[in-house]
């Protein structure tokens, strides 16, 4: 446990749900932890005990589960789900698939789950349409437009350009399809889980930006539980990036403003993150993230004051460890996000120079 983690409280200690099983973390809420084939080697998914009206007869009540997030579409992920279906659903079906945002580890198996259980997909409109577009092409991580975008920010060595240009199946490889229809959820909506009677609970939707187009977190006031998705992680800082689809965005400022909205929740809220362990200490974690990005911004500002810098120049300043190409594309997005935050504040100026690379320097 690092020093920042020690400032948070983990009510379940180091206990994790074993593969293929679940662990109860709040009334009617089960925790699933599934493996991922990345450096970030797991994702947390959630089962909410639910009751919904039958789609064909509203007088008939269906008992089952709402699942929050899905894992990537791989045979190994499906096998993990099959174990859950066989042993953890208490003989009940999945009634609804709710996805916090469009990243592959969250929406990858949405089509498979929805088709398997004849269950509707619930997601924000922005992330639904972004996922639909990305599953039919690529976005943010590979192909001609991505390689040109990264090259314009200094990642222009021939080997990196060739590898990024060739990586055209990154998103569709993990999200081969997205359901043809969905139920839109928006900021402020209240998703009723567990039926309309006294046993049911409202989960309020809280939108967030900077990490995904329109990320939806869920807060249950009755139990003081926040399903934070990727907006509130306890151990690592959420990836906040600018990519070629929205090259002029101010993602970091959007992210920091978004997490400040969680300050309106009780301090002892139990936060259920998509990666890491459930924790308490929400206000402390918000401040830690602000401090982290404040320090990175100061480093970037200092470098740009000494000499004009591209995002590629900033990488060894922001990231002290060796990065593979996959990690480098994420890091490049983060570097641009930090440069843009200072640029939008008027502290930096941006110039497209003769070699086709954007460089940032301190404003006069």
Q: What is the reported pLDDT for 307?
A: 98
Q: What is the reported pLDDT for 334?
A: 98
For residues 34, 123, 186, 183, the Cα torsion angle rounded to the nearest 10 degrees is: -140
Which of the four pLDDT bands, split at 50, 70 and 90, describes residue 4?
A: confident
User: How, if at all, do strands 215-220 and 201-208 pair?
Assistant: antiparallel
Say if 356 falls within a structural domain: no
Query: Domains in the chain: how many in total?
Result: 1
Say if 233 falls within a structural domain: yes
Q: Which domain holds residue 124?
A: 3-294
Q: What is the reported pLDDT for 212?
A: 97
Which of the four pLDDT bands, split at 50, 70 and 90, describes residue 139?
A: low
Tell me the CA distances in angstroms from 114 to 96, 109, 155, one per residue in order: 8, 8, 39
Query: Model's pTM, two decimal places?
Result: 0.96
13 token code pair? 């200690």
HEC per residue, the chain: CCHHHHCCECCCCCCCCCCCCCEEEECCEEEEEEECCCCCCEEEEEEEEEEEECCCCCCCEEEEEEEECCCCCCHHHHHHHHHHHHHCCCCCCEEEEECCCCCHHHHCCHHHHHHHHCCCEEECHHHHHHHHHHHCCCCCCCCHHHHHHHHHCCCCCHHHHHHHHHCCCHHHHHCCCCCCCCEECCCCCEEEECCCCCCCEEEEEEEECCCCCCEEEEEECCCCEEEEECCCCCCCCCCCCCCCCCCCCCHHHHHHHHHHHHHHCCCCCEEEECCCCCEECHHHHHHHHHHHHHHHHHHHHHHHHHCCECHHHHHHHHCCCCCCHHHHHHHHHHHHHHHHHHHHCCCEEEEECCCCCEEEEECC
Which of the four pLDDT bands, split at 50, 70 and 90, describes residue 39?
A: confident
Point out the least confidently predicted range of 59-68, 134-143, 153-162, 350-359.
134-143
* 61: CATH: 3.60.15.10
Query: Which tens digits make up the pLDDT trace of 256-299?
Result: 999 999 999 999 999 999 999 999 999 999 999 999 999 999 99
Say if 299 falls within a structural domain: no
> pLDDT at residue 141 above 70?
no
Say if 335 falls within a structural domain: no
* Radius of gyration of the chain from its Cα atoms, rounded to whole angstroms: 21
Say if 149 falls within a structural domain: yes
Residues 169, 172, 334, CA angle at the centre, nearest 5°? 75
Say if 305 falls within a structural domain: no
Which of the four pLDDT bands, split at 50, 70 and 90, describes residue 155?
A: very high
Residues 223, 224, 227, CA angle at the centre, nearest 5°? 105
Nearest to 89 by CA among 22, 16, 34: 22
Say if 146 falls within a structural domain: yes
Query: Which tens digits make up the pLDDT trace of 182-191?
Result: 999 999 999 9
Contact 247, 148 (CB under 8 A): no
Q: What value does the mean pLDDT take over residues 51-63?
A: 95
Point out the least confidently predicted range of 4-8, 151-155, 185-189.
4-8
Say if 351 falls within a structural domain: no
Name the one residue in this structure whose structure tokens are 């009755």: 222
């Amino acid at each position: 446990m690092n020093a920042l983690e020690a400032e948070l409280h983990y009510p379940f200690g180091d206990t994790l749900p074993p593969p293929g099983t679940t662990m109860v973390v709040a009334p009617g809420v089960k925790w699933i932890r599934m493996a991922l084939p990345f450096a970030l080697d797991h994702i947390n998914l959630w089962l909410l005990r639910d009751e919904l009206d039958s789609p064909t007869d509203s007088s008939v009540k269906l008992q089952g589960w709402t699942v929050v997030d899905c894992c990537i579409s791989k045979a190994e992920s499906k096998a993990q789900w099959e174990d859950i279906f066989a042993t953890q659903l208490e003989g009940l079906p999945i009634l609804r698939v709710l996805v916090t945002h469009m990243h592959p580890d969250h929406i990858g198996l949405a089509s498979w789950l929805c088709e398997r259980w004849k269950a509707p997909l619930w997601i924000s409109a922005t992330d639904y349409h972004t996922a639909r577009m990305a599953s039919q092409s690529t976005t943010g991580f590979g192909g001609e437009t991505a390689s040109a975008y990264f090259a314009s920010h200094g990642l222009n060595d021939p080997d990196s350009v060739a590898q990024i240009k060739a990586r055209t199946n990154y998103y569709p490889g993990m999200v081969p399809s997205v359901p043809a229809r969905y139920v839109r959820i928006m900021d402020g909506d209240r998703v009723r889980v567990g039926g309309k009677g006294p046993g049911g609970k409202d989960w309020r939707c809280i939108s967030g930006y900077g990490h995904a187009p329109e990320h939806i977190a869920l807060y249950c006031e009755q139990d003081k539980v926040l399903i934070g998705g990727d907006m509130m992680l306890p151990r690592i800082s959420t990836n906040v990036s600018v990519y070629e689809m929205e090259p002029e965005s101010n993602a970091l400022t959007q992210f920091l403003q978004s997490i400040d909205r969680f300050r309106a929740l009780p301090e002892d809220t139990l936060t259920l993150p998509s990666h890491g362990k459930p924790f308490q200490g929400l206000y402390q974690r918000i401040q830690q993230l602000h401090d982290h990005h404040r320090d990175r911004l100061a480093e970037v500002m200092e470098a740009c004051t000494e000499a004009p810098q591209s995002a590629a120049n900033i990488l060894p300043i922001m990231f002290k460890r060796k990065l593979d190409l996959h990690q480098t594309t994420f890091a490049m997005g983060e570097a641009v996000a930090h440069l843009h935050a200072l640029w939008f504040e008027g502290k930096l100026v941006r110039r497209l120079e003769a070699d086709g690379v954007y460089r940032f320097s301190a404003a006069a």
